[in-house]
Amino acid sequence: MSDPNSPTQSPAGRPGDDPEATAVLPEGAYGAELRSLEAALAQATAKAEEHYNQYVRALAELENFRKRAARDLESAHRYAIERFAQELLPALDSFELALANAPTAQPAQLIAGQEATLRLLQKAFEKAGIGELEPAAGAAFNPNEHEAMVAQPTAAQAPGSVLSTVQKGYVLNGRVLRPARVIVARAPDA
């Protein structure tokens, strides 16, 4: 049996040759090293708690952002045309006023009122980014913007061109809302 207080001996019998042997520290060194390790552990624990708290705050912030974005999107869907509707209200008021005064109004006054109402509607459309599609006679037929109502034989214009517009079309910021309805020229019958 070996003495537990004796230094570790290698198989050759020399002390200090065993690579698994631990170093012997003086009596007071254990307390200082333990305090140092405890301080390092406390510091690492504090830093870990700080990072965890930052993570939890970031997660809560992200969740709040998601909820806010969802509310904003729902509000945008619900009230998307609010500004446009506000622009249309004066035109509606003008129509109601015209109807209320129709029995006593002169035809010239009714026509002037309708023209004013039309200007209000056109102004509302312009502010909303709605433009007219009214191809000029002789313009090339564009199936993306025009709807052919009928093809009429004629020698006056080139085949595939617009003879006349039956109903205006409209675009919203460059996107067709309603195509212009047109009569298209075709070659005369032989």
pLDDT for position 1 = 47
Residue 84 burial class via C-beta count within 10 angstroms: exposed 0-12, middle 13-18, buried 19 and up: middle
C-alpha separations of 139 from 63, 95, 166, 171 in Å: 55, 35, 14, 18
pLDDT for position 76 = 87
Condensed to tens digits (0 to 9), the pLDDT of residues 96-130 reads: 988 898 889 898 988 998 999 999 999 999 998 99
Q: Say if pTM beats, i.e. exceeds, 0.75.
A: no
The C-alpha atoms of residue 105 and residue 94 are separated, in whole angstroms, by 14
Condensed to tens digits (0 to 9), the pLDDT of residues 46-60 reads: 999 999 999 999 999
Beginning with the edge strand found earlier in the chain, give each strand of the sheet holding 130-133 in spatial order: 130-133, 169-172, 175-178
For the 129-190 domain, the top CATH level (class) is mainly beta
